[in-house]
Amino acid sequence: MAEQTTSSISIDAPPAEVMAVIADLEAYPEWTASVKHVEILTVYDDEAERPAEARFVLDAGAIKDTYTLSYEWDDDTEVRWTLVEGGLLKAMDGSYRLVPAGENSTEVTYQLSVEIAIPLLGLMKRKAEKVIIDTALKELKKRVEG
């Protein structure tokens, strides 16, 4: 990932529980305001059977798009994704990194870099990424702890 925006949050659950919520992509529309639909296209043929590729329908106000992401999973410690194809989105690279923080707590760090077809000043782009990340982390925390 080139220039990226990063933020972290502490979630009161072990990493395996947090990663289970992150990996359940098809449930995202239930708890993520801007994701309207997710379709798993392929899964890894391993014990976890986690998604390898998924198509998302996004409606984030001014930004509406359908895009496909490719995923790489590192057990319950990290997931990385990259854009395969999109309409408005030209690039999207991101990751969640999970680090145990005590007996029943996880520090979740979200990194994101997005390029869209509409030109934006660097400062505006980073601010938009920061809003996306902070919202996603708060929604993830609420879903896992709720």
Residue 67 pLDDT exceeds 50? yes
Tokens matching residue 92:
């999207």
Task: In whole angstroms, give the CA distance from residue 56 to residue 7.
Answer: 23
Q: State the chain's mean pLDDT as an integer.
A: 89
Task: In whole angstroms, give the CA distance from residue 128 to residue 18.
Answer: 24
The pLDDT-based confidence of 1 (bands split at 50, 70, 90) is: very low
Closest by CA to 84, choosing from 63, 65, 70, 95, is 70
The stretch 45-74 carries a mean pLDDT of 90
The pLDDT-based confidence of 145 (bands split at 50, 70, 90) is: very high
User: What is the per-residue pLDDT across 75-124, written as a single tens digit (0 to 9) for each?
Assistant: 999 999 999 999 988 989 999 999 999 889 999 999 998 887 776 656 56
User: What is the per-residue pLDDT across 8-53, written as a single tens digit (0 to 9) for each?
Assistant: 999 999 999 999 999 999 999 999 988 999 999 999 987 778 999 9
